Amino acid sequence: MVFRKLMAVFGAGVEVDTVLRDTNVRPGDLLRGEVRFRGGSSDHRVDGIFVDFTAVVEVERGDSEFRGTFSFLHAQVAGAFELAAGAAHAVPFEIAVPWETPISAIGGRPLRGMRLGVATELSLAGALDKGDLDPLLVNPLPAQEHVLAALDRMGFRFKGADLEEGTLPGSTMPFYQEIEYYAGPRWRRHFNELELTFIAGPASVDVILEADRKGGLLTAGRDVYTRFTVRYDDPPAAAERALNAALQAMARRRGWFF
């Protein structure tokens, strides 16, 4: 069990804690936990308790760039109730992790560049108070793992990951993830770097690739894109075949390849 203090003392003296059963989840899993709180020196009416899925996102506005905090799921875990002075209370919850939730860990280890988590919000006396971000380790689905493992076998080296503001076709999220790699040895003559984005759903995941293809003697370099789908019932080798075909299509120039 993981115990984190989300809010120290609310203005009315109400203390709120949260307990997550497991901070390691996958898209589509149920996040289970319990919100615990204790009344202050007098009785209070709690209007509701909410859990926010929150991410730190890169935002561009004109020539400036900054990081913003985006909420992509606002789940109510308790309605209105009366909290007596000094009384202890606990509310269990189960929240489905959205399929499109970005990956923030691989093998349970945090992914560099990602800040993702949940925050508990208490509505009391017409005011809202939200606790600090409680990190959540979202591990890849098996189909996503197959793609990432194939990139490793092809010699691509992880560079970093971040979230960019914007909604991609087929997505419902206000941002998208870019997992960045340095090109593997076989691909270095064609690409400098590769960026990967997943758009997951209940039955399959779309994989979007962007590479900065190198130019030739008479041509300038430019970014190239491709997109393919991996179904969850596909064998692991299918993901690698689809990835290899997509990379070859992006690298192909003037009808020849390697």
CATH number, position 85: 2.60.40.640
Distance CA 168, CA 174 (A): 9
Examine the domain organization and report whether 132 and 16 are in the same domain: yes
Q: Which of 109, 138, 167 is the last residue of a domain?
A: 138
> What is the C-alpha separation between 66 and 59, in angstroms, rounded?
5
The better pLDDT of the pair 224, 174 is held by 174
What's the confidence (pLDDT) of residue 254? 38
The size of the chain, in residues, is 258
Q: Is residue 256 domain-resident?
A: no
Look at residue 83 in the predicted model and tell me its pLDDT: 83
Residue 15 domain-assigned?
yes
Tell me the average pLDDT across 216-233. Answer: 73
Give the pLDDT confidence score for residue 54 in this predicted structure. Answer: 93
pLDDT, position 123:
80
Give yes or no: residues 126 and 146 share one domain.
no
Looking at the structure, do residues 79 and 27 belong to the same domain, yes or no? yes
Between 86 and 245, residue with greater pLDDT: 245
Q: Please give the residue that has the higher pLDDT: either 148 or 215.
A: 148
> What average pLDDT does the segment 50-70 reach?
87
User: Which amino acid, 123?
Assistant: S
Asked whether residue 34 is assigned to any structural domain, the reply reads: yes
1 has pLDDT over 50: no
How much is the pLDDT for 87? 87
Can you give the pLDDT at residue 3? 40
Residue with tokens 């019932």, as numbered in its chain: 233
Which of residues 111, 138, 165 is at a domain's end?
138
Structure tokens at 18: 């949260």
131 domain-assigned: yes
pLDDT for res 209: 96
Number of domains in the chain: 2
Reported as a pLDDT band with limits 50, 70 and 90, residue 241 is very high
Range in 65-79, 112-126, 159-173 with the lowest mean pLDDT: 112-126
Q: Which domain holds residue 64?
A: 2-138
Q: Once rounded to an integer, what is the mean pLDDT over residues 121-147?
A: 82
More confident call, 53 vs 18: 53
Q: What integer pLDDT is reported at residue 130 of this predicted model?
A: 63
Task: Categorize the per-residue pLDDT at 108 as very low, low, confident or very high, splitting at 50, 70 and 90.
Answer: confident
Asked if 155 and 235 sit in the same domain, the reply is yes
Q: Are residues 14 and 99 in the same domain?
A: yes
Neighbours of 165 (CB within 10 A): 14
Helices (H), the chain: 142-153, 236-251
Nearest to 258 by CA among 190, 192, 191, 212: 190
pLDDT at 217: 34
Residue that is last in its domain, among 138, 153, 174: 138
In a domain, residue 22? The reply is yes
Report the pLDDT value the prediction gives residue 5, as an integer from 0 to 100. Answer: 41
Do both 156 and 236 map to the same domain?
yes
Predicted confidence band of residue 67 (pLDDT cuts 50, 70, 90) = confident
User: Does 42 share its domain with 128?
Assistant: yes
Per residue in 136-193, pLDDT tens?
Answer: 999 999 999 999 999 999 999 999 999 999 999 999 999 999 999 999 888 888 888 9
Same domain, 146 and 179: yes
Regarding beta strands 15-20 and 30-38, do their DSSP bridges make them parallel or antiparallel, or are they unpaired? Answer: antiparallel
Let me know whether 7 and 134 are in one domain: yes
When pLDDT is averaged across residues 195-205 and rounded to a whole number, the result is 97
**Are residues 131 and 46 located together in one domain of the fold?**
yes
Are 32 and 134 contained in the same domain? Answer: yes
- Shared domain for 68 and 146, answered yes or no, is no
pLDDT score at 17: 81
Whether 258 is in a domain gets the answer: no
Q: Give SS3 for 119.
A: strand
